[in-house]
Structure formats: C-alpha cells, structure tokens
Structure 1
Amino acid sequence: MGRIIQTFVKRVGDELLERSPDNYSVDFDKNKLALNEIIENGSLKCPSKRIRNRLAGYISRAVVLRSK
C-alpha cells in the first residue's frame, strides 16, 4: 500500500506545476533547489524543511507520471 499524501502538498504541487512546468524535472534535488528559490523570493510560504521535501518529491513523481 502506498502512503497518503497531504492535501496541502497535492494542491500546492499542482499549482506550482501549472504555473511553471519547465522549472521542475524528475530529479528530486533540482526540485528542492527550485523550491528554495521560490521560498526565498517570498512567493511561497513553507513552514518546514519536511514540507519542502514532500513538495519536491510530489512534484518529481508528478513530472514522471505526466511524461508517460
């Protein structure tokens, strides 16, 4: 059985992918860096590193699924 993803992660991850799909890739570490830039700009509030990592993982997985 898979893990349940929080609605916040799904909603924000999908919004970020719709806004700028070219900024994200299959690579988790690149997605973390891209999210760090967005968080530092102030356009995204992320309460913790754990949530940022979950967002990066969700986006990585979503990119893989959308490419199929």
Structure 2
Amino acid sequence: MAKKKDTKIKITQTKSAIGYNVKQKRTLEALGLKKLNHSVVHNSTPQIEGMVTKVKHLVSVEDAN
C-alpha cells in the first residue's frame, strides 16, 4: 500500500498573546510557538488545523512544501 504524502504547513506567530485568553496562550505553546515571528513546521492534520483555527488572529499559515 502506498503511503500518502504528508502536507506540511509553516505556522508563524505574528501577534503577541498578551491580553488574550489562557486557552489561546496554551494553544500557542502546544503548537511550539514561543515568541513573536517564531515559526514551526507541522504536518497538516485535523488536530493541528483545529488549533490554528483557535488562534488564527495570532498566527499566519503558509505551505511549507
């Protein structure tokens, strides 16, 4: 069986989490984002996409392939 190619996305924190909900701060930590303009690359899974949706006002997302 052929393995499906994983799609990678690059997530960059573009706005500070100061003044936002604790859940949103924890979501940024779970994504691996620590500072402004810090970027991480993740596989595009439903779980990651859900987390990005919750903090979409704090991050930017682009294709990493």
TM bracket, shorter-chain basis: 0.3 to 0.5
Pick the structure with greater CA Rg.
Answer: 2
Highest RCO, 1 vs 2 (Cα 8 Å, sep ≥ 6)? 2
TM-score of the aligned structures, taking structure 1 as reference length: 0.33
Of Structure 1 and Structure 2, which has the larger fraction of its residues in strand?
A: 2
